[in-house]
Amino acid sequence: MATDETSVRVRVITIGGPVVGRISKGKGVRLLDALNLKGEFVAVTEIEDEHGTVDKSRFLAINKSQIVSVEEVH
């Protein structure tokens, strides 16, 4: 990850169900602004399973039209 980027832990609610993971964004950039950048998909990394176990090798490209809501979680 470049030094001018950071990632935030998020819960993405899609029409297919919830996904918890991390979304990369620029430092000082709001999550909403990062999601509104051009492109049809948002990359979610470090996906957590239903038990909260993080798999750093898991990655999802979620079509933005399938997203109902996104919230930052800690």
Domains of the chain plus CATH, in order, are 5-72 (2.30.30.100)
Burial 42-59 (b: 16+ CB within 10 A, else e): bebbbbbeeeeeeeeeee
CA dihedral 6, 49, 15, 68 (to 10 degrees): -30
Residue 2 pLDDT exceeds 60: no
Whole-angstrom distance between the N-terminal and C-terminal Cα of the chain?
Answer: 20
Residue 58: pLDDT band (50, 70, 90) is confident
Neighbouring C-beta atoms of residue 64, cutoff 10 Å: 13
Residue 50 pLDDT exceeds 60: yes
